[in-house]
Structure formats: structure tokens, C-alpha cells
Amino acid sequence: MSDTGYIVETIIKVIVILIIFSAGAGFTTYVERKVLAFMQRRLGPTHVGPYGVLQIIADAIKLFTKEDIIPQNVIRPIFIIAPIISATAAFTALSALPIVPQFTIFGYTVHPIISDIDVGLLFIIGVMGAGMYGPLLAGMSSSNKWGLLGAARTVIQLLSFEVVTGLSVLAPLMLVGSLSLIDINNYQSGGFTDWLIWKQPLAFVLFLISGYAETNRTPFDLIEHEAEIVSGYATEYSGMRWGLFFIGEYANMFTISFLVSIIFLGGYNPWGFIPGAIAILLKISFFIFAFLWTRAAWPHVRPDQLMWFCWKVLMPLAVINILITGFVLV
């Protein structure tokens, strides 16, 4: 493969993934409002377009045309750059993610992954962790007490769940022996019974829980919980800057759904008669739905409860899981 061809292919892939996931994030907001509404016996958006589908476009127009307010006492450069960190980190994490199985189009084999690095999983977890700088800097720079509380809670959350994320994913990695998501996927290519969830059910649950914490979704949405701290780190943000945080959050939801599907649920391997691309789409849809489902059903936890839960329950469980896995392997 020539260098120019490689560069062109990569740029095209980047653009396609950016477009798909931005649109996906927008569509997920619509689905979220609808699902939450149905679960609360409401109708949700109905007026703009058929079944309210065009509400996304109305929202986008609103966000783009809104005045960009930068309050008086904020630390201006940090305030401006924080949402960009958040969105950039979320989309960078997608770059090491194999989206669908490789396919051939016009006699040209496409690998639907922007960069197949050997430490893909580590890269994704690291970049998503770096994405927490967005809320942290936003809250600290916006000269707002709620923002400051949100920033403090960001750190609490990061300290709590990041350990569990790493430790819980370690056990399946010991089985696979590689950090590349493609290797992890291929390890489970034997079908339904080869899925890692059967070998590592505990790690699956732990990783899912810490994934909820990573994406700031209910029940761990304490860094922007409006009942307590108005809107947390995003209190002073409006318009497109707030929209960037929002897109980042939804891109993170997709990333976590992809990670859980690839590591534990057989990834994009064909599932019975279902081809791989459809299979992973189904799995991701289920996990996105689960994000909304828990939001409709569960209250959120207090910060001290989150720390207690992560350090005293989840981390010991993760360590025990690793120990058992190690003994079984030996």
C-alpha cells in the first residue's frame, strides 16, 4: 500500500467516523428523549417532523445560533478550550475502535479501524480518562461555585472508577494475551459459547458499572446532577460549547458500548445467522438502550457512596477476580 493511498484512506475513514458518530450522538438524544418519555408514560418530542424526528435538527440550529456567552470572571483560554478537550478526547478514543468487520468494496479491502495499534484498549481507556480534563478544567475555570463542585466531583469520580475499569478489564486480557481489540475480538470468533462473558461474568459486570461512571450516566451522573449542583461543570456554558460537552458524552456512550460488546460479547463476529456488522449494531443498540433504561429507573448515588462502592466493593471484587483468573490460568 502506498503512503499517499494510506493517508487518503485514513482521512476518509476519519471523516466518515466523525460524521457517523456525530449524527449518531444527535440521534441518540432523540431516542433518549423518546425512550425516557415512554417509560414515564409521556410522548416525548412529537411536533417537529414525523414522530418528532426532526427535533434533532431544531436542537442543532438552536445550539449553533445561540449566543456564545463567556462570563466576566472566567479564566478565558481554559474556559474556551475545556469543551474542545472533552469532545476531542471522546472522538480520539473512537480512532482505535474496530467498528465493523473488514469488508471489500470495489475490490478494495477496508479495515474499518482508523489505526490498529497494539495497545488499542489501553489507548482508549487512557484517552477517555484524559477526557475528564474537560469537565475538570471547565468547572475550575468558570468562576462558579456549582462549577467548582462539579470539577471536584469529576476528580472524585475519576479516582474511584478508573481503578475499577483497569482492574476489571485485566482478567479478560490475561485470557486473551493481547491489548489489541482486534485480537480480543478474534479470540471469541468461535461463536456464542466463546464469548468472554461466560468466562468472566464478574469482570463484565464490573466493567459495565465503571463504564457508566466513565460516561457520567445515571446512576453515576453526579458531576452534573441538576438537583444538587445546578448543572455542575457545565453551569456557565451555553450554545455550541455546551453542545461539545454533550456530543462528547454521547460519543463516550458509544465507545463504552463498543468496548463492552467487543471485549465481553463477541464483538463483530457473526452471531449464528446474523452477520457480524448487524450483530455488533444490535449489541451496541442494547447497551445504549440500557444507558437510557437505567436513567429512567434508578436514582443517582451520592459522591461518598460512589467512592465507598468503588473502593470497598468493586475494587476488591476486581482483584479477587484477577487472582482467580491467574490461578485458573496457572
Partner 1 sequence: MNKEFKDRNVKEGYKFLEIEAPAKDPWGSFIQVLKRTFKGELFVGLWIVLREMLKFNIHTVKYPLEKLPISPRFRAIHRLQRLLESGNNRCIGCGLCEKICVANCIRIDTKIDENSRKEVLDYTINFGRCIYCGYCAEVCPELAIVHTKDYEHASEQRAEFAQKEDLLTPLEIFRAGKQREFPGFGAPSKDADKFIKKTPLAY
Positions touching partner 1 (CB under 8 A) are 35, 38-43, 46, 293-294, 296-298
Q: Tell the smallest beta-carbon distance from residue 299 to partner 1 (Å).
A: 9
Fill in the DSSP letter of residue 271.
B
Q: Tell the smallest beta-carbon distance from residue 96 to partner 1 (Å).
A: 32
CA atoms of 18 and 65, how far apart (whole Å): 21
CA atoms of 136 and 278, how far apart (whole Å): 37
- Is the CB of 96 or the CB of 222 nearer to partner 1? 222
Q: If DSSP states are collapsed to H, E and C, what string results for 180-231?
A: CHHHHHHHCCCCHHHCHHHHCHHHHHHHHHHHHHHCCCCCCCHHHCHHHHCC
- Is the CB of 186 or the CB of 294 nearer to partner 1? 294
CA atoms of 1 and 111, how far apart (whole Å): 13
Q: Tell the smallest beta-carbon distance from residue 152 to partner 1 (Å).
A: 26
Q: Tell the smallest beta-carbon distance from residue 159 to partner 1 (Å).
A: 22
Q: Tell the smallest beta-carbon distance from residue 31 to partner 1 (Å).
A: 12
Q: Tell the smallest beta-carbon distance from residue 296 to partner 1 (Å).
A: 5
Q: Tell the smallest beta-carbon distance from residue 39 to partner 1 (Å).
A: 4
The DSSP element (H or E) to which 260 belongs, if any, is: helix 239-264
CA 40 vs CA 44, 216, 293: distances in Å:
10, 22, 11
Q: If DSSP states are collapsed to H, E and C, what string results for 282-316?
A: HHHHHHHHHHHHHHHHCCCCCHHHHHHHHHHHHHH
Vertex 205 angle, CA 203 and 211, to 5°: 95
| All three cell numbers of 44 | 416525548
Sign (positive/negative) of CA torsion 51, 52, 54, 56?
negative
- Is the CB of 160 or the CB of 255 nearer to partner 1? 160
- Is the CB of 40 or the CB of 65 nearer to partner 1? 40
- Is the CB of 23 or the CB of 297 nearer to partner 1? 297
- Is the CB of 35 or the CB of 167 nearer to partner 1? 35
- Is the CB of 133 or the CB of 293 nearer to partner 1? 293
